[in-house]
A and B are shown apart, each in its own frame.
Chain A
Amino acid sequence: MTDPDGVGADAASGSGAASGGAGPGEAARVHVSVQGRGVDDAVAELEDAGLEVEQVLDALGIVTGRAAPEAVERMRGVRGVTVEPESEVRLPPPDAPVQ
């Protein structure tokens, strides 16, 4: 689970879905996991690739932001990053039988 290549392989399937949520050319929220290099180091390259950075979680090595599908394609070329779409979490209502 510390193998960057293994995670990168997983991410390849995830990033395919990155552009699925939004229409063509429309920016969607993405999370970029950075491995093997400093986050600050990678942020500049990600911005160049078209990522609108929203938050830099330096303690986790994750950058969140918005990116159009073309930008996601470009970001995938950045060394040591994994691009995935944001996912939704939804709890059942407070009185549901199972929480």
Chain B
Amino acid sequence: MTTSDADLRLPEGPTGRQIITFAPVDADTATRELRDVAGIERSMPRGLGDDPAAAASGDLYLDLLNIAVVDGDGEQARSLSRAVDDSSSPILAVEPEVWVHPLDTIDAMDAPVLEEEDAEAGTEDEEVDAAEVYADTDTYAWGLKAVRAIPPILSTAPWGGTLMRVAVLDTGIDLDHPDFAHRVVASQSFVAGQPVQDGHSHGTHCAGTAAGAKRPRGTKRRYGVAHRARLVVGKVLSDQGSGASGGILAGIQWAVQQGAQVISMSLGSTVAPGQAYFAYYEQAGQAALNAGSLIVAAAGNNNGPVNAPANSPSILAVAALDQSLMRAPFSCRGLNGNGGEVNIAAPGVATWSSVPVSKGSYGRKSGTSMATPHVAGIAACLAQKTGLRGRALWRELERTAVPLPQPAIDVGAGLAVVPTRRRPVWDYEPVPWRPGPVVDPGEITPVPVPRELR
């Protein structure tokens, strides 16, 4: 052990020697202490002497540092360790000496291992970033996690929009889609000659994000925010994807009359810089708010000023976020004032949701059209929880939004999220402490919580 330079393989770990750290005492006192405590009776060279290399072996007392290095057997080391706790002893610490290597030697020696470790470290770094990047899982679409419809750890999301009505004004819906069985309480087409049945897929996708089932029939992956809300479906855009504002206005009136607390409109027409909002959309937005219906509309996908009708002051404009919760590059910005602001943001890239059965039942789409029904579902959950409607619901949506690092011109008040609650303690099943190997403890009876404490 003491002739390491003769060994071909570099040694590692403890050398077998002990390093004893003394309080500032003179060398005689230290040597006497070593003899009294551990029976070490050896004359030690003091300092490095004539041959510094000798410090690598044998006993040594470094008088400038008040440190002794001694060969000691186990019993002596234990005696010295006991002296550390004795306040009358000048011995402060007893620690084993270890082999030390220059770092480049270790690199050369363990190069392959280190490369592997570096690679692992690299992925770990990426995973730290990846923790902030959302992705679809087997059980939920990423947007639901981002908006907390899939609640964070230690939380529950108990409000699913029960008894709330969410109107989706779009290309209709696939009424035969099994996920929407008994969910559509009213439907009406405002497109001449076309039934509510969705021949495009945009409307079915948006309705799914707003209020898709908690347990979809055809997939394990949940995609709907307000999974208990009722759907009011107005077809204002044709199967070819076009519509006129007259049909949209008629759809808004119908949705208000149907008692929808939230009206989701993933549609719009581009607006030039400096262009004002349309009076009729603003009129409709105000009338809806007065009647207790909040209209949310897509900001638009041309990376320009917020589109109409989202640019109306009384209509909530929704920007789209990517999986890193950054504004999607296509998402329109609050370049025009006077209502043309972005009010809030939600996931709108690679959004997984329902499409008509004839088109495969499920699929992904991107756009502010996909962000808008996220907010509609969130608004329904908030409306259920708080009882707020219209302008008060709008303010509550903005108040509870999570701030984002990007400016309000891009993302408004931030990320819209559903209300969550701290998970109560009795939700947790007791888990036994398991020392060592995992042993199945068998059946464990939970301690019942008295009913009056629930």
Contacts and interface: CB of A to CB of B under 8 A. Distances in A.
Interface string B226-258: 000000000001000111111011101100110
Q: Is the interface of A mostly helix, strand, loop or mixed?
A: mixed
A62 B256 CA distance: 14
Interface stretch (B106-114, B363-371, B381-389, B394-402): B363-371
Interface stretch (B26-34, B127-135, B285-293): B285-293
Interface string B276-299: 111110111011100100000000
B370 A59 contact: no
B278 A13 contact: no
A14 B276 contact: yes
B279 A10 contact: yes
A54 B244 CA distance: 14
Contacts of A1: 282, 286, 313-314, 339
Contacts of B201: 94
Contact of B366 (A10, A94, A97): A97
Q: Which of A31, A61, A99 has the most CB of B within 10 A?
A: A99
B280 A31 contact: yes
A93 B241 contact: yes
Interface string A44-59: 0000000000110111
Contacts of A60: 249, 252-253, 256, 283-284, 287-288
Contact of B283 (A35, A89, A90, A97): A35
A11 interface: yes
Nearest to B198: A94
Interface in A1-57: 1-2, 7-8, 10-11, 13-14, 29, 31-35, 54-55, 57
A31 B291 contact: no
A86 B279 contact: no
Instruction: Kindly name the residue among A2, A59, A86 whose own CB sees the greatest number of chain B CB atoms within 10 A.
Output: A59
B246 A61 contact: no
B388 to A, nearest CB: 19
Contacts of B283: 7, 33-35, 60-62, 82
B244 A89 contact: yes
B145 interface: no
A87 B308 contact: yes
Contacts of B249: 31, 57, 60, 62, 64
Contacts of B246: 29, 31, 54-55, 64, 86
Given A89-B268, A91-B241, A14 B279 contact: yes
Nearest to A9: B276
B365 A89 contact: no
A54 B428 CA distance: 61
Contacts of B242: 88-91
Interface residues of A, number: 37
B200 interface: yes
Contacts of B253: 57-60, 62
**Residue from A59, A93, A98 having most chain B Cβ neighbours under 10 A:** A98
A79 B291 CA distance: 24
Given A89-B248, A91-B267, A98-B330, A59 B280 contact: no
A38 to B, nearest CB: 13
B244 A98 contact: no
Contacts of A13: 276
B280 A82 contact: yes
Nearest to B356: A94
B406 interface: no
A84 B241 contact: no
Interface in A67-94: 82, 84, 86-94
Contacts of B313: 1
B359 interface: yes
A94 B253 CA distance: 27
B375 to A, nearest CB: 16
Interface in B339-355: 339, 355
A99 to B, nearest CB: 4
A98 B280 contact: no
Contact of B276 (A10, A34, A90, A93): A10
Contact of B257 (A34, A59, A61, A84): A59
Nearest to A83: B279
25 contacts: A10-B276, A14-B279, A29-B246, A31-B278, A33-B279, A35-B283, A55-B250, A57-B253, A58-B253, A59-B257, A59-B291, A60-B253, A60-B256, A60-B288, A62-B283, A82-B280, A84-B278, A84-B280, A88-B242, A90-B241, A90-B269, A94-B200, A94-B201, A99-B369, A99-B370
Interface of A: 1-2, 7-8, 10-11, 13-14, 29, 31-35, 54-55, 57-62, 64, 82, 84, 86-94, 97-99
Given A33-B282, A91-B242, A98-B301, 19 more contacts: A7-B283, A10-B276, A31-B280, A35-B283, A57-B249, A58-B253, A59-B256, A60-B252, A60-B288, A62-B249, A87-B245, A87-B278, A88-B245, A88-B269, A90-B242, A91-B237, A99-B366, A99-B369, A99-B370
Interface pairs A-B: 3 shortest CB-CB:
A91-B241, A99-B367, A33-B283
